[in-house]
Amino acid sequence: MRNLDEETITQAVLARNADMKDLRLKEVMTSLIRHLHAFAREIRLTEEEWAAGIQFLTEVGHTCNPSRQEFILLSDTLGLSTLVTAQNHRKPRGCTEATVFGPFYVDDAPEYALGDDVGNGMRGEPCYVSGQVRSITGEPVPGAKIEVWQADADGFYDVQNPDRTSAQGRGTLKADEAGHFRFRSIVAECYPIPHDGPVGRMLDAMGRHPWRPAHLHFMISAPGYETLVTHVFRNGSEYLDSDAVFGVRSSLVADWIRHEAGRTPDGGESAVPFYTLDYNFVLNPAAPS
């Protein structure tokens, strides 16, 4: 088709794609093209703005590396990650809510025995974490795989440290036969998402801060259940109501309880004050295959 103009270009593109054999891809691309063209028409996108957008996305791609996923940060800060998570993880009342995955998960985190120190020397105040994994009907989930990861007291994940020699603040454990788990780590603290790149400049231009409230990341899986990706947020933390990535749910806010130096939950002794966190997770049964 020749002599296309602003009124006919959308239908021409859709017609060109009409023979796609992958019906889901066809559905996705048709909707994307319609909405993208409608967006450009609605705001009367200028050539300069179009070029700036292309440059922005190019810089987002160039910023990505094995320890930093700028496109996930972009998705998170625009609320898209939370929207996709909410749409795909509707659960019955009583199940632990899912929330955003975040950009700092790493496959094959080291395995730890229950009670071990997952912090592994990470800087921060000591914390003892415990809880139970249960089903929606209250039954324990024995042997559930629990992956945990968190930032240090300065707000950095281990993968952000180019000089690290081992994993810190992340690990994999297995719940016992009663679904109970426990491990040592450090107290979660507030931290800003990486904001020295294009996403940070976008937030600054929009008058927004880059901070996240204090939290621990969890991913819990077990045969017969949906995998749960979630956070537990520290009650009283700043930014609970203005999380830069829109991840907070009231049901995921818990108390970190401070204790004076002395006897610890594992029967040891701490020469400094420490914290405890107890939180139970409720998994949703997997849909029949």
* Segments making up each domain of the chain, as ranges: 1-45, 74-283
| Distant-in-sequence, close-in-space partners of 244: CB < 8 Å, separation ≥ 6 | 76, 77, 192, 193, 203, 208, 209, 210, 211, 212
pLDDT tens digits for 89-138? 999 999 999 999 888 888 889 999 999 999 999 999 999 999 999 999 99
The DSSP code for 158 is G
pLDDT tens digits for 234-287? 999 999 999 999 999 999 999 999 999 999 999 999 999 999 999 999 999 998
Prediction pTM value: 0.91
- Long-range interactions of 52-57: CB distance < 8 A, separation 24+: 56/198, 56/202
Which CATH fold topology does 74-283 show?
A: Protocatechuate 3,4-Dioxygenase, subunit A (2.60.130)
First to last CA, the chain: 46
